[in-house]
Amino acid sequence: MSARNPGMPLDLAWVSKVRVNTQAVLKRAQQIQGRNKNKKQWQAAWLLRAVTCIDLTTLAGDDTPGNVHRLCMKATQPVRYDLLKSMDMQDKGVTTAAVCVYPSRVADAVKSLKAANSSLPVASVATGFPAGQTSLKTRLEEVRMAVEDGAMEIDIVINRTLALTGQWEGSDFIKTSTGKESVNATYPVAIVMVRAIRDYFLKTGHKVGFKPAGGIRTAKESLVWLTLMKEELGDEWLSPRLFRLGASSLLADIERQIYHHVTGRYAAYHQMPMA
């Protein structure tokens, strides 16, 4: 992905002028959660769109080339072919947005995808994930190595010491959290973040993407996330270019909901191919 946010000189006066009214944001979050009542084909279409925004992720200490390969194959065919076919969506390029792995597994993922003839990008968390408390030198080296191994996107953990002391960094995407925190992607926090994206866009014309991560497990939640983006930022932020869902188990639930839409029956998890 090309750097689309050239950034601007740091303006802390702007940052300090930001006002957030917590109760109004909480109310807005509730309203958004009650907003999407899509049924039938609308629900199916929105779920498929959610699939295309997923960064299918495995970030475990015991990741091996084997399970990374399974993940890559699931990413290229996230929804059972027969289900897609019955919705006439089999040839519409429904894949996840990317696969997301640790730097040491990037090479495995790139190899698996290449073998499957897929152009799906590999994203890697880098820079001392998840705490970011390593020195700048090793962090930069980590990014370089991941890129050399073929990673197209890097999820950087910012140095929160710098952020909390007001020394911010710029990016193409902002992410709610690493997914490894006690509190991860919540709607009120997301509303504040996407409004910052809007603020920056109105000021500079640069579009920054948004990636909620951590704890997003159900199809229904994915629909709320899409609604939130549509309501606050508009339809342009509903594509993988500007919106990602960082998740591992979400896809299975979405696939089951799609199964229900197609067949009218509720699926067991084992009926869906494993990631």
Partner 1 sequence: MAGITSKTIHDIFQSMEYGPSSSSTATAQAWLESHSRALGLFIDGKFVRSADRQTCNVTDSSGGPVCSTVCAVDEDASLSVSSGASGFKAWSALPCHLRAKTLLRLVSSLQRHGQCLSELCDLAQSPSSPSALVRLLQYYSGWAQLRDSLIPDWTPRGVVVVVVSDDCSLYSLMLKVLPALAMGNAVVAIPGVGTAPPVLLLAQLFVEAGLPAGVLNVVTGSVLSLGSKVAQNPHVSYVTYSGNKKDGEILCRATAGMGVPVSLSLSLGATCPFIIFESADIDSAVDGVIETAFKKNRECQWMLCVQESVWDSVVARLKVRMAGMKSVPLLAEGDRRLVDAAVQEAQQQGATLIQPCPPSSSGAAYPPTVLCGVAPSCTCVVTPSPGPLLPLLSFRSHGEGVTLGNHSPHGQAASIWTEDLTLALEAAKSLSVGAVWVNSHSVMDPSLPISGHKESGNCIDGGKEGLFQFLRPSSSPPLPRSSPASVDYSKFGTAASAAIIPEGSNSSSTPRSYLQYVGGKQCKSESGSSVCVLAPGGGTVLAHCPDGGRKDVRNAVEAAIKVQPGWMKKSPVARAQSLFSLAETLELKRRDMAVSLHSQTGLSLEKADMEVELSIAQLCDWAARCDKEKGGVPSVPQSGSALSIPEALGVVGVVLPDSSPLLSMVSLLAAAVAMGNAVIMVPSPKYPLPALEFIQVLQSSDLPGGVVSIITGGRDQLTQALANHSVIKAIWYWGSMEGCQFLQHTCASPLKSLWLHCQEKDGGRDWAQPHASLQEEMWRQAVQWKSVWIPTA
Closer Cβ to partner 1, 12 or 18, answer by number:
18
Tokens 């640790």 identify what position? 102
Minimum separation from the CB atom of position 220 to partner 1 (A) = 15
User: DSSP letters along the chain, please?
Assistant: -----------HHHHHH----HHHHHHHHHHHHHH----HHHHHHHHHHHHHTEEEE---TT--HHHHHHHHHHHHS-S-HHHHHHTT-TTS----SEEEE-GGGHHHHHHHHHHTT--PPEEEEESSTTT--S-HHHHHHHHHHHHHTT-SEEEEPP-HHHHHTT-----SEEES--S-SSS---HHHHHHHHHHHHHHHHHH----EEE-BSS--SHHHHHHHHHHHHHHH-GGGGSTTTB-EEESSHHHHHHHHHHHHHHSSPPPGGGSPP-
Reply yes or no on whether 175 is catalytic.
Answer: yes
Q: How far apart are CA 214 and CA 179, in angstroms?
A: 4
Beta bridge partners, 173, equal 209
Catalytically annotated residue among 17, 111, 137, 175: 175
- For partner 1, give the closer residue by CB, 145 or 192: 192
In the complex with partner 1, the residue whose CB is nearer, 105 or 244, is: 244
Cis link prior to 130 (omega < 30° from 0)? yes
* Catalytic, out of 114, 207, 211, 220: 211
Task: Tell me how far, at minimum, the Cβ of 22 lies from partner 1, in Å.
Answer: 4
Cβ proximity to partner 1, 59 vs 191, nearer residue = 191
- For partner 1, the closer of residues 62 and 235 by Cβ is 235
Applying CB under 8 A, which residues contact partner 1? 19-28, 31, 36-46, 48-49, 87-89, 92, 195, 198-199, 202, 226, 230, 233-235, 238
Least distance from partner 1 to the Cβ atom of residue 94, Å: 8
CA-angle at 140, arms to 137 and 143, nearest 5° = 150
Catalytic residue ranges: 175, 211
